Amino acid sequence: MTEQTITGLSFRDSVDHMAEKAMKAIKLDPKIAAAIKACNTVIQVSFPVDIRGRVEMFTGWRAVHSTHRLPVKGGIRYASYVDQNEVEALAALMTYKCAIVDVPFGGSKGGLHIDPSQYSRDEMEKITRRFTRELATRGFLNPATNVPAPDMGTGQREMAWMMDTYKHMFPEDINYAACVTGKPVAFGGIAGRTEATGRGVQYALREFFRHPDDIALAKLEGGLEGKKIIVQGLGNVGYHAAKFLSEQDGAKITAIIEHDGAISSDAGLDVEAVFQYKLKNGGIKGFPDATYTEDGAKLLEAECDILIPAALEGVIHTGNAKAIKANLIAEAANGPVTFEADQVLHEKGVVILPDAYVNAGGVIVSYFEWVRNLAHIRFGRMEHRLDEARGIQIIHAIEEGTGRPLPQHIKDELVRGSPEVDLVNSGLDDSMRLAYQQMRKTLAENDDIDSYRTAAFAIAIEKISRTYLDIGVY
């Protein structure tokens, strides 16, 4: 947040400017533009909680940017810097994000002003349950109208507490499990949700590297194999993205930036080892066989092919944009590049894959989880044995036709059926590929659109405006 002041633009203004650029490019009727940009509702709640014998007041927000589709969807962030402006900006991004990847939700976001590291597990549970009651009694948490998910500082644990609180408040709501997503699988969550946003970053980059013209635009060559990547933030999103890209695509994570500094290694860092070290020590400082830099943000400017900011907003601003050396930036965090920095990077020829597309994996899989909760059945449950039987029939047919037995590993694959996580990843991959292809088509076809970001916003705004016209907004 602090870096945003360097630009003079708030996070909310930054998002609005980006949307306005796309609205201009598609020559959107200004009245519809105004309706789309406006944040519909925002509530602020303040509530007391008894902490270690004294009463502490907590303040939280839930912003609903657009209800053109219901429910509205968006994470809940726990951080000591959260404020209304940030929550409104993030809610707007959610509206555009859902539209880009064809997830039928409106946009929302929540935040609680808290430093989670200062409270025990039991205290966090007490605070979360109270916050949930504040939101649910006002209709800002409900499976039909407003469905939160994890964001910075929250995870499966908080979602389980929220769902359980809602269930006790409204036991007659048969769809109570759908009131939040990102729950543990044992509490109605879906396999693959925890890693979905990082997985989506991987799928976005894989799709980028399938298009030689796009690779050339970023002045890069070849595929992901051997590409030097710097990641900022080794939390849920950054950890999974870095892990999958290094372990499955052969990319080299040459630096990791965290809250307590940065570590780098030209040979590439072992992401799992760094993550385990961070879990144990609370930071990355002191990680062996790597160079430590206290001023972590400085590493954003280091030599690399791909930069993945996966922590905070506003980290690339007018103060450091000129110094960025990456050819490609994949915005895994929300709003890591300010509006003005975006222009500077564009002039430098840096290609940016925008947040509203790159980190949409979380909301795509949240959508699958919500549908699964409403259906009250695990994906694949009905067809699992049928798939297995079909696989056996295929094996018999091939073996009879060729007169030779198939190798065991092929047989195993054919009779395996599809576990839920495979179905989830398949749906995620498909959504990320289709959205990317729409973005590059829009970029190629409209001369007034000069970046993937403006293309992404243009696609989203066209879709939303169609809904607004259909339902009548003024």
Taking CB under 6 A as the rule, does residue 7 contact ligand NAD? no
**For ligand NAD, the closer CB: 73 or 133:** 73
**For ligand NAD, the closer CB: 100 or 333:** 333
Structure tokens at 99: 């539209």
| Residue 13 neighbours by CB distance under 10 Å | 16
**CA gap 396, 468 in Å, rounded:** 55
**CA gap 372, 356 in Å, rounded:** 24
Work out how close the CB of 155 gets to ligand NAD at its nearest, in angstroms, rounded to a whole number: 7
Taking CB under 6 A as the rule, does residue 152 contact ligand NAD? yes
3-class secondary-structure state, position 57: strand
3-class secondary-structure state, position 44: strand
Closest CA to 261 of 281, 236, 247: 281
**For ligand NAD, the closer CB: 334 or 438:** 334
Taking CB under 6 A as the rule, does residue 236 contact ligand NAD? yes
**CA gap 385, 393 in Å, rounded:** 12
Cis status of the peptide bond prior to 309, with omega within 30 of 0: no
Taking CB under 6 A as the rule, does residue 338 contact ligand NAD? no
Taking CB under 6 A as the rule, does residue 148 contact ligand NAD? no
**CA gap 136, 170 in Å, rounded:** 9
**For ligand NAD, the closer CB: 47 or 81:** 81
Taking CB under 6 A as the rule, does residue 259 contact ligand NAD? yes
Which residue number is nearest to ligand NAD in terms of Cβ? 235
Instruction: Give the total of residues touching ligand NAD (CB under 6 A).
Output: 24
Sorted by sequence, the CB contacts under 8 Å of residue 175 that are 6+ apart come out as 143, 144, 373, 374
**CA gap 368, 374 in Å, rounded:** 10
Task: Answer yes or no: 298 catalytic.
Answer: no
Taking CB under 6 A as the rule, does residue 241 contact ligand NAD? no
**CA gap 210, 141 in Å, rounded:** 40
CA-to-CA separations, 199 to 89, 237, 302, 428, in angstroms, rounded: 24, 8, 25, 8
Work out how close the CB of 259 gets to ligand NAD at its nearest, in angstroms, rounded to a whole number: 4
Burial class (CB in 10 A: 0-12, 13-18, 19+), 8: exposed
Kindly tell me which residue out of 32, 147, 178, 310 binds ligand NAD, with binding defined by CB under 6 A.
310
**For ligand NAD, the closer CB: 33 or 159:** 159
Catalytically annotated residue among 73, 97, 109, 278: 109
Taking CB under 6 A as the rule, does residue 433 contact ligand NAD? no
- Which of the ranges 35-43, 216-224, 309-317, 393-401 carries the binding residues for ligand NAD, by CB under 6 A? 309-317
Kindly tell me which residue out of 71, 111, 314, 362 binds ligand NAD, with binding defined by CB under 6 A.
362
Residues in region 163-222 near ligand NAD by CB under 6 A: 197
**For ligand NAD, the closer CB: 293 or 418:** 293
Site residues (vs ligand NAD, CB under 6 A): 150-153, 197, 232-238, 257-259, 296, 310-312, 332-334, 359, 362
Active site residues: 109
